[in-house]
Structure 1
Amino acid sequence: MTGVVFDPIVPLWLLAALAVLSGLAISVALLRGLAGWAWRGAAGLVILAALAGPVLQTENRAPLSDIVLMLVDGSASQRLSDRETQTEEAAAVLEARLAARENTEVRRIEVGDADGDGGTEMMAALSEALAQEPRGRIAGIVALSDGQVHDMERAPDLPAPFHLLQSGREGDWDRRLSIKNAPAFAILGEPVTLTLRIEDSGAAPTDVDRVEVDVAVDGAEPQRFSVPLDRDIELPVTLPHSGRNVIQFSVPMAEGELTERNNAALVQINGVRDRLRVLLVSGEPHPGGRTWRNLLKSDASVDLVHFTILRPPEKQDGVPVSELSLIAFPTRELFLEKVEDFDLIIFDRYQRRGILPSLYLESVADYVRKGGAVLVAAGPDYASADSIYRSPLAEVLPASPTARVIEEAYAPAVSELGARHPVTAGLPDQDTWGRWLRQIEVTPEAGDVLMTGSDDRPLLVLNRVEEGRVALLASDHAWLWARGYEGGGPQLELLRRLAHWMMGEPELEEEALSAEPTGQTLRIVRRSLEEAVGPLTITTPSGDAVTLEMFESTPGQFETVFEGPEMGLYRLVQDDLETVVGLGPAAPREFEATIASAEALTPLLKTTRGGVLALEDGVPGVRNVREGRPAAGRNWIGLTAREAFETLDVARAPLLPGWLVLLLASGFILMGWLREGRR
């Protein structure tokens, strides 16, 4: 390409000043009537033109090809039916047609599944491709997809027409199950309402108004119900146990539907107790009684009933009963009629004085066998003839007293077994614990000794009795830690763990198998009092079984990591323990909407005047269209020819040679002088 450009010899301000002066001189000559003013003006123009530096510029250009971006959707929803084959065949035909177009290059961009459950992130892939290519060479963008794109908020500004060649079939249909309003936590014993909906989309059968749905809790045998189609159903659910509850809803796959991946939904709800009902029975006032009361009252979720014997029968102080400001305690109601309403009963330095008849204590023993929890904080009363051990409660207590009370200082210690038990494992700063000053000598008869005291005698003994749990703390000096005696100790943490173990909190079970999902990864934890555990068997949602070994990370805790190959319900079995866990949503985002649709891409198509054509009707032809014109029609898509080029080199030559400028300027000046002289 050749053209004239200017490269001034002098600064522009000086060139402008000379032009003004020349104009003034010519104007004066014209006003005075000098005959040679025109020739002198021509000479000035020649000089000014020479100073402006006109240059003849010649560019050597090479044409650049047009670029067409071809986005090929390979996400999970594209693997339904024959969409993958349909897309690959169309991509091959389209690529050949574009290659036959003069001066055209094709950039194929593979679009897969996003990390996690992000769905199809086509716009992110398109933005990255546009950043690597000159926008002035983009002639068009063609997407081969089902149209289910999940990142339209990241759509870039496009320099050329955008077209969608849509996969799928006109007769496609699918059935989907969804759950709404599923909370992360729910209160045990109280129903939580979930919203269940089963809906058909696409060319679904019209003669179906009810479908069967299966409901399974923690991988147990499912129950089947018949529910209406295309309606929200309020479903009350009561959690069966504390901790993680995994509820799976599923619908059998119908003949002809696209996929069963969205026919199921996993709901994981943690069951928590609303109010923990605790009965504290204090045999007599002592410093440790306030410690127990403060611990239990500090927890807003605890309903505490405190039964304290302030005036035992042997106390004779001469005060008439009618003048005592005490109320009769409802012992029969608490220990017979409503004893099963309590989650935990604590006997703190209680001894038999005839206040609670043996019938009441026998009721407490039955309460333990049926799943209740009893904690005995023993003092000298436990070693006496009136010990609570010498009552019907002896059948459930884990250790018997020897009648010896040890009155000497000792530092409580965690036993070898206690280092593996979640109640005492990992208690901080064991070497700095303050000493206690009294211990009741007991002989363990059942259960586990977690802490020892003077001369390694049993201090804390835990046991399971049928469905219930019992704990014995063979000292009433735990309150010394709370007062900071000799540095104190983790009194609140120990008693909190102890109380929560007795009430069956899952995180404190000594034999437990659990899994924590993070993305596609399962961190599996096994707690055990044994030195070794057996192999772990994992059953995937597709039914494949995988066996793993677990390794001890801390005393009593074994761990392993498993990368889940798919989303859904995993069943974990080890020794006699079994649990289930959901990895990701049962119906990933890719399968929330499976029917091919251009709805998500419509704004982009309208902006660029592109079109939507079904691959079911064949691969469209390719035409050239002018920029701003409609770029799609019946069975064709349009591309905008960019006519881009690359400048290889530039050659410059002066437009006016120096000798010519001198000759012209001199000639015009001479003609002006002659003209004026002749006059």
Structure 2
Amino acid sequence: MVALALAVLGALALAAFRRLAGWPYRGFAVICVFLALLNPSLKTEERQAEADNVLVVVDRSSSQRLSDREAQTEAALAHVTAQLADRPGTEMRLVEVADAAGPGGSEVMTALVQALSETARDRIAGAIVISDGQIHDTEFAPNLPAPLHLLLTGRSRDWDRRLLVKNAPGFAILGEPITLTLLVEDQGAAPQAALADIILSVDGGPEQRYQIPVNREVEVDVSLGHGGMNILQFSTPDMSGELTDRNNAAVVQINALRDRLRVLLVSGVPHPGERTWRNLLKSDSNVDLVHFTILRPPEKQDGVPVTELSLIAFPTRELFLEKIGEFDLIVFDRYKRRGLLPAEYFESIANYVRQGGAVLVAAGPDYAGVNSLYRSPLGAILPGRPTSRVFEEPILPQVTEFGLKHPVSESLESLAPDTGWGRWLRQIEVEATSGQVLMTGRGDSPLLVVDRVGKGRVALLTSDHAWLWDRGYEGGGPQAELLRRVAHWSMKEPDLEEEALLAEPSESGLQVTRRSLTEGPLAPLEVVTPNGERFTVALQPMAPGRYRAEIVSEDLGLYRLSSGDLQIVAALGPAAPREFVQTIATDRVMAPILAETNGGALAVSEGLPKFRNVRSGRPAHGRGWIGLVSHEAYVVQGVEIGQFLPAWVYLIFAALGLLIGWLREGRWDK
């Protein structure tokens, strides 16, 4: 066809050059024949219009429930739905965003990215976010092909007060002051205030009140009263008119460690178990151990001059009278009265226990004799009276029914080797006069007795053969764990308290454990949620002396828990979740994102906007209106192809051209 066209053009050019008559008409006839050969067609498409998509993201996070924002959100959503329904060829895709997991927050941009990935980009007319503007994932803002608008909830007169604790350490030394930085911050249109009241309570105990300046950091010194985890709760009273009191409290959890645990170990007779005690206490880097072994009692007469002795004199008066209060624990290991310690020294030790000290007696055969410690002023606080009988035979330690509940001896049996505990080879028979019997030996005679005396504690182990477990005799046993628990219970280790209420976060909320030696049903667990809701939960037994309750809740913040006389404060997530760090509605957070898409922010409290169509890339917002881009997208459903003209039409035109050309050449010139 190209070659034919070139030949025709060449012939026409030659005819025109030679000025032949009728050449245009003959050329027209040839072109008509040429078109008939090309057979041009007419294509008709059947199109279906595609609706524009508008993404509407509704912020349902906690801060959106403050004041009347929830009602504003519903009004804005209803208005947007109605406006888009009246806009022809438009579909609305609704996405609702709740609090994010963990510390919370409004992850609006993440939800927008997800919705954008499920929608064709060439059909997106715009996106609308209904929120207070406090979003926490702006770094994930998508590259939108259409305007993004913010319908801002909240009011210009809103204000809020927030309490913040800075520089809180995770660990601190018991008894030494720690410095915390407090800040009471007023946000928004807050009334003028110079001072704010602060309330401090430790582990839900008595409240301490003082005042600090508003909007200024203040350093506060706090001392921790006990070892282990201390929960410090700072709060400021709810002010009339503020948005919420959820951020008026802050919880700090600090683990209090003793600077050094000072232990005095007095060994009366060298024996294999002496090294066991020494190794146990020296293995703890926090223990300062003072160890004395009586090697040369006063009655020993060997003729050696005192000036030639290399032994250190026992500083009895300094240790047992002047500095006895500096020790956290005194251990008597097979000690008997030998004239070294006068009666007033033992009376001093007894008073030391009543005032909060601790004594542990590991008794040997001498405990059953006339020189027994029980027959000194110390006997007034010891929980076991010797019967003067000593069992020199194999005995198998057994945990009593009460011992299964006590934190010193609970779960000890689970640490037994496969063959069971090994036996001990000696026990001093005693009668328990007070306290609780945790372990027994021969004939149910008390083997381990613990007691509270005044503010202090006493433990009595009526055998000096616990070291056989350490040596693996007949399979051995949990010697180190048993002695560690006895020693640390005596020194009031919080994890070994008999009556305790513990709480830790779980997948569904909080898991609360109650440890108690009380017989019979326990008082139910009373719960006060961060929102002020009160309810009770039954404590279910899970093991001897242990009870458990599950609190199912998604509310982040402070929970007040109590059962009987025990009260604790537990935090699920931060005390003030991320949603309540900044509560004043603002468009500043999203402003850069809106500007990139030519979108804008309009306050719902000032009226709801109308919608307009705008061209892509043009400003898409103004006073009282927001713009959407109309893409007029469509999908071709089918194509119909037909002839442009029938072949006979071309032939008629070709014949007509030839006829006119013939007439022009043969007749019109004559």
- Could you tell me which residue of structure 2 aligns to residue 675 of structure 1? none
Aligned residue among 21, 40, 54 for 1:68: 54
SS in 2 for 1:432: coil
Deviations 1:395-449 (A, max 9, x none): 0000011111111112212122212211111111275211111111111111111
- Could you tell me which residue of structure 2 aligns to residue 629 of structure 1? 618
Report how far residue 658 of structure 1 moved: 12
Aligned residue among 205, 209, 217 for 1:220: 205
Aligned residue among 591, 606, 621 for 1:617: 606
Q: Which stretch of structure 1 is more off in the superposition, 581-590 or 136-145?
A: 581-590
Report how far residue 612 of structure 1 moved: 1.5
- Could you tell me which residue of structure 2 aligns to residue 359 of structure 1? 344
Aligned residue among 257, 261, 267 for 2:246: 261
- Could you tell me which residue of structure 1 aligns to residue 131 of structure 2? 145
Contact 2:238 2:245 in 1 (8 A): yes
Q: For residue 92 of structure 1, what is the amino acid of its counterpart?
A: A
Q: Which stretch of structure 1 is more off in the superposition, 254-263 or 353-362?
A: 254-263
Aligned residue among 383, 387, 396 for 1:398: 383
Deviations 1:265-319 (A, max 9, x none): 2222232323211110111211111110000001111111112112222333332
Report how far residue 594 of structure 1 moved: 0.9
Which whole-Å CA distance do the structure 2 matches of 1:280 and 1:288 have between them? Answer: 12
Aligned residue among 378, 394, 404 for 2:363: 378
5 Å-filtered alignment, 1:219-368, equals 219-368=204-353
- Could you tell me which residue of structure 1 aligns to residue 666 of structure 2? none
Report how far residue 195 of structure 1 moved: 1.1
- Could you tell me which residue of structure 2 aligns to residue 424 of structure 1? 409
- Could you tell me which residue of structure 2 aligns to residue 579 of structure 1? 568
User: Are 1:527 and 2:515 counterparts?
Assistant: yes
Aligned residue among 545, 556, 570 for 2:545: 556
Q: How many residues align?
A: 624
- Could you tell me which residue of structure 1 aligns to residue 94 of structure 2? 108
Q: For residue 545 of structure 2, what is the amino acid of its counterpart?
A: G
Report how far residue 392 of structure 1 moved: 0.6
Q: Which stretch of structure 1 is more off in the superposition, 393-402 or 428-437?
A: 428-437
- Could you tell me which residue of structure 2 aligns to residue 85 of structure 1? 71
Which whole-Å CA distance do the structure 2 matches of 1:55 and 1:311 have between them? Answer: 126
SS in 1 for 2:375: coil
Report how far residue 543 of structure 1 moved: 4.9
Q: Which stretch of structure 1 is more off in the superposition, 372-381 or 131-140?
A: 131-140
Deviations 1:116-160 (A, max 9, x none): 432112122212222332221110001121100112233222221
Deviations 1:600-646 (A, max 9, x none): 21231122121112222211222222112222223221111111111
Q: Which stretch of structure 1 is more off in the superposition, 252-261 or 141-150?
A: 252-261
Aligned residue among 520, 525, 539 for 1:537: 525
SS in 1 for 2:110: helix
SS in 2 for 1:498: helix
Deviations 1:568-598 (A, max 9, x none): 4433333443333333333221111111112
Q: For residue 572 of structure 1, what is the amino acid of its counterpart?
A: L
- Could you tell me which residue of structure 1 aligns to residue 483 of structure 2? 495
Q: 1:448 to 1:245 in 2, by over 3 A?
A: same
SS in 2 for 1:389: helix
Report how far residue 96 of structure 1 moved: 1.9
Deviations 1:34-58 (A, max 9, x none): xxxxx9xx99xx9xx99xx998654
Report how far residue 652 of structure 1 moved: 5.1
Deviations 1:50-88 (A, max 9, x none): 9xx998654321111111112222222122222222232
- Could you tell me which residue of structure 2 aligns to residue 127 of structure 1? 113
Q: 1:557 to 1:117 in 2, by over 3 A?
A: same
User: Are 1:599 and 2:588 counterparts?
Assistant: yes
Q: 1:296 to 1:389 in 2, by over 3 A?
A: same
Q: For residue 439 of structure 1, what is the amino acid of its counterpart?
A: Q
Q: For residue 551 of structure 1, what is the amino acid of its counterpart?
A: Q
State the TM-score, normalized to the length of structure 2: 0.87
SS in 2 for 1:129: helix
Contact 1:519 1:584 in 2 (8 A): no
- Could you tell me which residue of structure 2 aligns to residue 478 of structure 1? 466
Q: Structure 1 stretches of 5 or more lacking a match? A: 1-17, 30-38, 661-679
- Identity score, percent: 59
Q: For residue 163 of structure 1, what is the amino acid of its counterpart?
A: H
Q: Which stretch of structure 1 is more off in the superposition, 473-482 or 620-629?
A: 620-629
Report how far residue 520 of structure 1 moved: 5.9
Aligned residue among 452, 461, 478 for 2:440: 452
Q: 1:651 to 1:333 in 2, by over 3 A?
A: farther
Aligned residue among 462, 468, 473 for 2:450: 462
Which whole-Å CA distance do the structure 1 matches of 2:303 and 2:549 have between them? Answer: 69
- Could you tell me which residue of structure 1 aligns to residue 503 of structure 2? 515
SS in 2 for 1:586: coil
User: Are 1:414 and 2:402 counterparts?
Assistant: no
Deviations 1:137-196 (A, max 9, x none): 110001121100112233222221101121222222221111112233322111222110
User: Are 1:639 and 2:628 counterparts?
Assistant: yes
Report how far residue 232 of structure 1 moved: 0.8
Q: Which stretch of structure 1 is more off in the superposition, 169-178 or 301-310?
A: 169-178
Which whole-Å CA distance do the structure 1 matches of 2:604 and 2:105 have between them? Answer: 22
Q: Which stretch of structure 1 is more off in the superposition, 365-374 or 577-586?
A: 577-586
Contact 1:177 1:262 in 2 (8 A): yes
Q: 1:499 to 1:520 in 2, by over 3 A?
A: same
Q: For residue 477 of structure 1, what is the amino acid of its counterpart?
A: H
| RMSD (Å) for aligned C-alpha atoms | 3.0
Which whole-Å CA distance do the structure 2 matches of 1:299 and 1:652 have between them? Answer: 93
Which whole-Å CA distance do the structure 1 matches of 2:114 and 2:527 have between them? Answer: 39
Contact 2:203 2:567 in 1 (8 A): no
Q: Which stretch of structure 1 is more off in the superposition, 346-355 or 177-186?
A: 177-186
